[in-house]
């Protein structure tokens, strides 16, 4: 088979992956994309998540390609919890080809306003209503967890890149030994008619963390890349109702693509980054937003 044939170029068959926050939303989309293409996927989520049901669903999806899944609960709010998650993988695998560090949270101000039309007092009241603990927990999950989990699994990622998968071909040649961190396009624009200050700040930090980790891991060519999704339906970002928790209203219709992102959009970019096709991409992030950031600043 030619090296540029799609089954060769974008293959993740046989790769071992860990997806955090993989029981719903973007994480589950990525896990589905990996397992249906023959990867062995470990998925971790909160104890309250439907862990067994997700594991069964993923195993069924991987049946045809040989992909399998194993799901377990994890607590990424502390260094100890992160170490426990890493230890579970370490007890079962000698290498880790793919780490999808995806888990994230969003904490909106309890008193909402439209930042583009609010009076000074309304804006100040809204911004001040955010709690200090909301900012702290946001950075714990959206930044610190990516850092500590990547470090905890660095040796397994390096082993995946160094492992000879065929005569003269190492894992790194096929894109293995890679961390993909989920950020957001909230890090790429400044003015919207929704207020996500703490969330956007953490995601900006996440973008820089991608480059920092990639530079630190460069001697072993453990690649670190990021994805910046736009509007993608999830438990954290419900869309379509225009009311209640759906703070985005009709913003999706202002995206040039005229739709939200979905399974194929998320899985496609991740398959690229985690396969031979993306093996030369390191320390950079890819926006998957349907053109949203072209018009986000100064939005009306």
- Which residues lie below 8 Å from residue 157, measured CB to CB, with a gap of 6+? 95, 96, 97, 99, 150, 177, 178, 179, 217, 220, 222
pLDDT at 298 over 60: no
CA trace torsion 16, 92, 56, 14 (10° rounding): 20
Kindly state the average pLDDT of the residues 71-98.
97
Grade residue 2 by pLDDT with cuts at 50, 70 and 90. Answer: confident
Q: Please tell me the distance from the alpha carbon of residue 62 to that of residue 85, in angstroms, as a whole number.
A: 23
Q: Return the biggest CA–CA distance within the chain.
A: 68
Kindly state the average pLDDT of the residues 203-227.
98
Q: pLDDT, tens digit, for every residue of 271-288?
A: 999 999 999 999 999 999
Kindly state the average pLDDT of the residues 180-201.
87
Q: Residue 249: its pLDDT value, please?
A: 60
Q: Please tell me the distance from the alpha carbon of residue 242 to that of residue 290, in angstroms, as a whole number.
A: 20
Q: What single DSSP character describes residue 103?
A: -
What is this structure's pTM? Answer: 0.93
Mean per-residue pLDDT of the chain: 92
Q: Residue 300: its pLDDT value, please?
A: 44
Q: Residue 193: its pLDDT value, please?
A: 65
Q: Cβ atoms within 10 A of the Cβ of 220, count? A: 16
Q: pLDDT, tens digit, for every residue of 157-188?
A: 999 999 999 999 999 999 999 999 999 999 99
Q: Report all structural domains of the chain as residue ranges with CATH numbers, in order of start.
A: 12-294 (3.40.50.720)
Q: Residue 244: its pLDDT value, please?
A: 52
Q: Residue 78: its pLDDT value, please?
A: 96
Q: Residue 241: its pLDDT value, please?
A: 47
Q: Residue 242: its pLDDT value, please?
A: 47
pLDDT at 297 over 90: no
List Cβ<8 Å contacts ≥24 apart for 11-14: 11/37, 11/38, 11/174, 11/275, 11/276, 12/37, 12/38, 12/39, 12/97, 12/98, 12/271, 12/274, 12/275, 13/37, 13/38, 13/39, 13/65, 13/66, 13/67, 14/38, 14/39, 14/40, 14/66
Grade residue 259 by pLDDT with cuts at 50, 70 and 90. Answer: confident
Kindly state the average pLDDT of the residues 188-207.
87
Q: What percent of the chain has pLDDT over 90?
A: 81
Q: pLDDT, tens digit, for every residue of 35-70?
A: 999 999 999 999 999 999 999 999 999 999 999 999
């Amino acid at each position: 088979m030619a090296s540029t044939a799609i089954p060769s170029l974008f293959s993740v068959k046989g790769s071992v992956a860990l997806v955090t926050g993989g029981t719903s939303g973007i994480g589950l989309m990525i896990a589905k994309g990996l397992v249906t293409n023959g990867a062995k996927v470990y998925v971790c989520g909160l104890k309250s998540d439907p862990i067994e049901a997700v594991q069964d669903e993923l195993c069924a999806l991987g049946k045809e390609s040989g992909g399998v899944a194993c799901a377990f609960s994890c607590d990424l709010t502390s260094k100890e919890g992160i170490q426990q998650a890493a230890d579970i993988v370490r007890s079962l695998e000698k290498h880790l080809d793919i780490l999808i560090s995806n888990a994230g949270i969003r904490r909106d101000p309890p008193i909402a306003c439209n930042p583009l039309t609010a009076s000074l007092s309304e804006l100040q009241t809204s911004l001040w209503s955010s709690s200090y603990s909301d900012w702290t927990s946001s950075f714990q999950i959206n930044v610190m967890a990516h850092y500590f989990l990547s470090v905890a699994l660095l040796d397994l990622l390096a082993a995946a890149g160094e492992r000879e998968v065929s005569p003269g071909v190492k894992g790194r040649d096929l894109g293995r030994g890679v961390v993909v961190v989920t950020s957001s396009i909230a890090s790429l624009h400044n003015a919207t008619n929704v207020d996500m200050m703490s969330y956007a700040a953490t995601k900006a930090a996440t973008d820089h963390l991608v480059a920092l980790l990639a530079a630190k891991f460069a001697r072993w060519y453990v690649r670190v890349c990021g994805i910046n999704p736009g509007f993608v339906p999830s438990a954290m970002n419900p869309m379509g109702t225009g009311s209640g928790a759906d703070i985005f209203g009709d913003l999706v219709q202002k995206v040039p693509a005229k739709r939200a992102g979905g399974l194929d959009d998320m899985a496609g970019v991740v398959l690229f980054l985690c396969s031979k096709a993306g093996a030369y991409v390191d320390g950079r992030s890819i926006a998957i937003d349907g053109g949203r950031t072209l018009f986000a600043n100064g939005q009306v």
